[in-house]
Amino acid sequence: MTHSAPAVELAGLTKTFGPVTAVDGLSLRIAPGEVVAFLGPNGAGKTTTVDMLLGLARPDAGTVRIFGGTPADAVRHGLVAAVMQTGGLLKDLTVAETVRMTAHFHARTRPVAEVLARAGIADIADRPVGRCSGGQQQRLRFALALLSDPDLMVLDEPTTGMDVEGRRDFWQAIRADARAGRTILFATHYLDEADAYADRIVLVRQGRVVADGTTAEIKNLAAGRVVRATLPGADQAALAALPGVRAVEVRGDGVLVRTDDSDAVARHLLTRTAARDVEITSRNLEDAFLALTTDSLTAETIGA
């Protein structure tokens, strides 16, 4: 383990379940201190990737390195901790007992009272786990993950099934804890979570990385508006030369212009060409997400 080892290094990770390829040659490098959202629709291979990252599943091909070592090594030394989606708690223990018990599995931990407070569950310390809400149980999992004060924290869809308030409380706890230098990787299919909490978004689809960039870069993919029109024999170059135009695409008789200045494009189309059925739509992160993660459209990849 050296100074320069990435927090996470996945290379050519592949996992198949029968005829289904869940993860398909996925590679990813995360530097220490990054807060990365692993964003994709259900079934994109996020959980399978997380399982392999943590050493809970064996890759069919490819390698996993955490701070330069194996996942098992990272777990044994308390370098990595994880908050999994569901399960993994004993209903008959109280919240505090669960944390105390888990603390004894490590050589050295943060004080139990401290992690309870940081996870925002100090007030329910004596409540049996079986009587805690889903959100409270998730914050308990977070408290357990905080015990070893890990350098890498992995969260697998941590807010699935929570109501809006539960999600907000959970992220508030995570935010409050954003210790300098801790690397965080969280899988999610909520765009707004990725947008609000990550510095970098890795978009996955069908077990592959389809886009990887800063939150701003990913949002840029979705910036501006799209002008559609029916225009046989459209002059692509002329359209591309208009101010604010980012991309021009011709599909049969149709033309599709992505632009920051939809007025200029519409004016051009209507006054200088024979275009008809002009239609202007705005794109948001949701569209970028859909565009990048839906089968029918071509994926675009921007450099990290």
Closest CB to another protein among 144 and 291?
A: 144
Closest CB to another protein among 100 and 246?
A: 100
By CB under 8 A, residue 202 contacts another protein: no
**Given 12, 20, 61, 105, the residue binding another protein (CB under 8 A):** 105
Report the C-alpha gap between 14 and 107 in whole angstroms: 34
By CB under 8 A, residue 172 contacts another protein: no
Count of alpha carbons within 13 Å of 222, Cβ hemisphere only? 19
Sequence-distant (6+) residues with CB within 8 A of 279 are 227, 228, 229
Greatest CA span in the chain, whole angstroms? Answer: 75
Instruction: Name residues contacting another protein, limited to 225-264 (CB under 8 A).
Output: none
Q: Strand pairing partners for 83?
A: 155
Q: Strand pairing partners for 155?
A: 83, 186
**Given 12, 20, 131, 175, the residue binding another protein (CB under 8 A):** 175
State the nearest-atom distance from the C-beta of 60 to another protein, in Å: 11
The DSSP code for 131 is: G
Task: Calculate the alpha carbon distances from 75 to 53, 81, 82, 145 in Å.
Answer: 11, 7, 10, 11
By CB under 8 A, residue 126 contacts another protein: no
State the nearest-atom distance from the C-beta of 54 to another protein, in Å: 6
Q: Strand pairing partners for 82?
A: 154
Point out which residues bind another protein (CB under 8 A): 1, 3-4, 31-35, 54-58, 67, 71-72, 75-82, 84, 86-93, 97, 100-102, 104-108, 144, 149, 151, 174-175, 178, 180-181, 183-184, 197-199
